Amino acid sequence: MGRHTYDANQQTAIRPTGGSRNDETRSNRMPVAIEAIGLTKDYGEGDSAVHALRGVDVCFEQGKFTAIMGPSGSGKSTLMHTLAGLDSATGGHILLQGEDLTAMNDRQLTLLRRKRIGFIFQSFNLLPMFTAEQNILMPLTLAGAKPDRVWMRTLVRTLGLERRLDHRPNELSGGQQQRVAIARALITRPSVVFADEPTGNLDSISSAEVLDFLKRSVRELHQTIIMVTHDAVAASYADRAIVFADGRIVADEPEPTAERMNALLMQERQRATAMAMAY
C-alpha cells in the first residue's frame, strides 16, 4: 500500500529519512530549497509545557509542491511558522539554501521575508485599504524595489486576475483574494513559498481553483511551495505529503492521493487512540 510499513503496536514511529534520499531513484536530483535539522520548539513551562516540535529533520526540494498534514495540535503549523522564520525555534537549525535562519537577527529575517520567502495565510492575507495590484506589489514597495513588469504580467495572467487589479479586497471573492495572495507571495520570485491552510476558508470550488494555481506555479513557474493542510484532498495536489503528529513526522508519501492520505491519517488516529488508552 504505502512505501512505509506502519506498526500500530509500536510506541514510536519510524522516522522518515528525508525526501531527497528516497528520491535517488528519480532521474533528476533537485537541489534543496530549505531543510530543518533537529528542530525543536516548546511553548510554556512546567506542567502546561507543550512540545510542539520534537527534533524534526526534513528536507524540501526545490521546484516541488509539498503538503504537510496532521491533526490539530500536531505541530504542523508550528513547523511551517518556524521554517518561515516567523517564529523562533527552541533548538536545532533551519537552512535556507545553505543559510542558517536560526542564527539570524530580526533585520536579516526581515530582508529574507522581502525577497526570499513568500507567505500565504489562511485568511487576512491582504491589506484592506489597498487595491489588489498594490497588495501584490507590497513586498517590493516595502523594499523600495522596482517591480519586474514582465513577471508581474505573467503572474497576473496565470492567476487570472487581469480584470481585478484595481479592486479592493472587500470587492473580491474568497478565492480571488487567495489568488491575489499567491501573486503577492510570488512577485519577488522567492526561494520558498509557505502556505498555511490556504483553502481553509474556501468553499469546494474556490479551493480547487486555488490548489490548481498553486500546482501550476510549481509546474510552470518553477516555484517551491510548502503547504500545511488538514484536508487530504488538498494534499493530493502536492508532489509529496508529510504526515505530522505530536511534533514528529510519522509518514512521508510521494505522489499522494486523497485516499492514501486519509488512510495514513486514520492509522495515526488509531495509534494515538491506542496510546491514549494506555494512560
Partner 1 sequence: MIRIGLRDARAHFSRFVMSIIAIALGVSFVVGSFCFREMMNDQVDQMMGSNTDHDVYVRGTDEKKDDDTDSSSSSMKTYNDIDDTLVDDIKDVKGVKTAEIVYSVSGSLVLVKQDGNAVSTMGSPTMGIGLAKGTWRSAHLTEGRWATNRNEVALHSYAAETSGLKVGDTTKLVYPSGPEDVTVVGVFDTDVSQAGAIILGLAPDVAKDLYQQQTGEIGRTQYIGVYGSGNKGQPLTNDQQRALADRINKALPAGSKATAITGDQLRDEYSQSIKDMLGFIQPLILIFAVIALFVGSFIIANTFSMIVRESMRGYALLRSVGASPMQVFSTVIIQALLLGLVGSAAGIGLGWGMVRLIVFGMARMGTPLSGAGNPSPTDMLVGLLVGVTVTFIGAALPARRAAMAPPIQAMNETVNPEKPVRPRAVTGTIMVVLGVAAWLFCWRIATVDGEPTSVGFLNALADRYGTGWPLGIGAGLIVIGVIVLAPALVRPAGVVLGFLPSLVFRVTGRLAVRNLSRQKRRTANTAAALFVGVAIVSCLSVVAASAKASVAGIVDTGLKSDFAVSSAASGRIPDAAVDAVKQVDGVKSVSTSRMLMNVKYDGKRISGTSFAEQPSLFTDVFAPVTMSGDANKALRDGELVVGETIAKDRGWQVGDTVTMTGERVSVDEEATAKAQADWQAQTQAKVTALQQEAQKLAASGDAAGAQAKAAEAQQAVTDAQNVDPSTLIRTKSETTRATVKVGAIISNSIYRTMVLMNDETAEKLADQQTMFTIQLFIAAKKGTDTEALRKRLVKAVKPYYVLSVLDREDYKSTMSSMVDQILIILYALLALSIVIAIFGIVNTLALSVSERTKEIGLLRAIGTSRAQVRGMLAIEAAIISVFGTLLGLVTGVGAGVVIRAVYGGNGLEVLSIPWDQLGVFLVLSIVVGLLASVQPAGRALRKPVLDAVASE
Partner 2 sequence: MGRHTAQAVQARRGHDGKADNTGNAARPAGSARPVRQTRKSQTTRDGEAVARAVDLVKTYGAKDTAVVALDHVNVEFMRGQMTAIMGPSGSGKSTLMHCMAGLDAPTSGKVFVEGLEVSAMGQRQLTKLRREQIGFIFQSFNLVPTLSAEENILLPLQIAGKPIDRAWFDHVVHVVGLEKRLTHRPSQLSGGQQQRVACARALMARPSVIFADEPTGNLDSRSSREVLSFLKTSVHDYGQTIVMVTHDPRAASYADRVLVLADGRIVNDMSHPSYEQILDVFASEGTDDTDGGTAEGEERA
- By CB under 8 A, name the binding residues for partner 1: 81, 84, 86-88, 106-107, 110-115, 118-119, 121, 123-130, 138-139, 142-143, 184
* Residue 61 or 246 having the CB closest to partner 2: 246
* Residue 100 or 171 having the CB closest to partner 2: 171
Smallest gap from Cβ 78 to partner 2, in A, equals 12
Strands (E), 197-247: 225-228, 240-245
- In angstroms, the CA 260 to CA 216 distance is 23
- Axis crossing angle, helix 174-186 with helix 149-159, rounded to the nearest 10: 150
- Dump the DSSP string for 82-98: HHTTSS--SEEEEEETT
Smallest gap from Cβ 132 to partner 2, in A, equals 14
Task: Give contact residues for partner 2 (rule: CB under 8 A).
Answer: 47-48, 50, 71-73, 159-160, 171-175, 199-209, 212, 230-233, 236, 246, 258-259, 262-263, 265-266, 269, 272-273, 276, 279
* Residue 109 or 263 having the CB closest to partner 2: 263
Give CA 179 to chain center in angstroms: 16
One-letter amino acid at 234 equals A
Q: Which does 272 bind (CB under 5 to 8 A by kind): partner 1, partner 2, none?
A: partner 2
Place of cell 480547487: 208
* Residue 179 or 271 having the CB closest to partner 1: 179
* Residue 103 or 276 having the CB closest to partner 2: 276
Comparing CA positions, the residue from 254, 261, 262, 257 lying closest to residue 60 is 254
